[in-house]
Amino acid sequence: MQKYVHAVTSSTLAWAGNIYDLVLITYAYTFLNKIVGISYLDLTIIFSLGLIGRVIGASIFGKIADKRGRKIVALTGTAGYSIFQTFFALTVSFPLMAFLRTIEGIFMGAQWTSGTVLAIEQAPKQKLQFVNSIVQAGYALGYALTGVAYMLMSSDLTSISGYRIFMLTGSLPLILVPYIYFKVTEEFKPSVVAQKVRVRDYFPYFIRASLAMSGMFIAYLAVFSIYPDFASFSCFPAYYVGLLMAIANAIQGSSYVIFGRLSYMFGVFKLIYVGIAGLLVASFLSMPIFTSLKALPIMSAGVYLYAFAVGFWPLISGIAASSVPPEVRAFLTGTAYNIGAVAGGIVSALIGGIIEAFGMASLPYFVDGIEFASLAVVFVSMFTWPMKIENRA
């Protein structure tokens, strides 16, 4: 087996485990609210702290990865978030949960910042785009597996012990650590020449990339960070909630690859505009305001359409990366992504406050408004993207 295959496999699975641990708690919101007494606001704050921690981890461990290599950071990140997920599963105290979630998020950021780079740097040049699509599809794989876990274990979420077993499944990525250690090889050579990043020279790209990523994170998390609980509130059977999320994320993983392929045949910006239109339609179907649309088949179709339409998301990073020279490429795209993650985390906490103040039944009115506003920001950012893009390596 070629060496890069192990790097791609481990990075994809570690990224899947990363996302699995991030979103698993969203399936336990109802249990933690009704049985333990943690408010929805506090629950969404816990979720947001994971995102914020990832930003911190990406910043700290990104510098370590540039100095000491990607593999050691990938090992540390994967082991770290798995271990702290184990600790997280054993407590139902909000202060301790918040602390552990933040630390876990830091290790998630460590894995994220090293995993993709580790895979791409070892892949043959002619397979870079394909490898990137495979690794990014790990996001959808991880989310789909949470649906499978909930489908199989939802009946256990009636007691503290059942909840702990459910959450402890997030420690399974620990089995990847020996695989990464023994099978993944890396010939790391730190750069001798330090490049000075002049962000102000690329400010038009930076601000638009940050706004587009923020819009995408806000739009996506406004729906998917709460949908398992919203579906349960809408009287979806528990097993079907898990099946719905599993299928939706399988579609999402496929759509990343499909949109990547289509980008070679159609204009990238046109695909983004079509995707935005699809997300707007999907949001109104998945979280309908009108009573006539509040039916399981219609709402399910909306979730599936949303999962497919969001496949254009990685194209935004590609546009940003191709618009600037190599010495600022990682900084610009990485920082824009992190800013977007923080924005999404803040809105996730806001969703919790809305539920506390107005109830779950009112959520579609707020979410549909958030979707329209955030996707409008994405559209404007892309439509006004500076078109004088030089041909750079």
What is the pLDDT confidence band of residue 393, given thresholds at 50, 70 and 90? Answer: very low
Q: What number is the average pLDDT over the span 228-245?
A: 92
In CATH terms, are 1-185 and 200-384 the same topology? yes
DSSP 190-254: --SSPPPP-GGGGHHHHHHHHHHHHHHHHHHHHHHTTHHHHHHHTT--HHHHHHHHHHHHHHHHH
The phi and psi torsions of 249 (rounded to 5 degrees) equal -80, -25
CA atoms within 13 A on the CB side of 179: 16
Domain 200-384 CATH assignment equals 3.30.565.10:
no
Rounded CA gap, 389 and 70, in Å? 30
Predicted pLDDT of residue 195: 52
* This prediction's pTM: 0.83
Q: What number is the average pLDDT over the span 94-99?
A: 96
Q: Is 327 exposed, middle or buried (0-12, 13-18, 19+ CB in 10 A)?
A: middle
pLDDT tens string 318-340? 788 778 776 666 667 777 887 88
What is the pLDDT confidence band of residue 178, given thresholds at 50, 70 and 90? Answer: very high
Domain boundaries, the chain: 1-185, 200-384
Rounded CA gap, 34 and 353, in Å? 16
Identity at 102, one-letter amino acid code: T
Q: What number is the average pLDDT over the span 164-171?
A: 96
CA-based torsion, 214, 215, 216, 217: positive or negative = positive
pLDDT tens string 187-230? 777 655 445 556 577 888 989 999 999 999 999 999 998 999 99
What is the pLDDT confidence band of residue 21, given thresholds at 50, 70 and 90? Answer: very high
Q: What is the CATH number of domain 1-185?
A: 1.20.1250.20
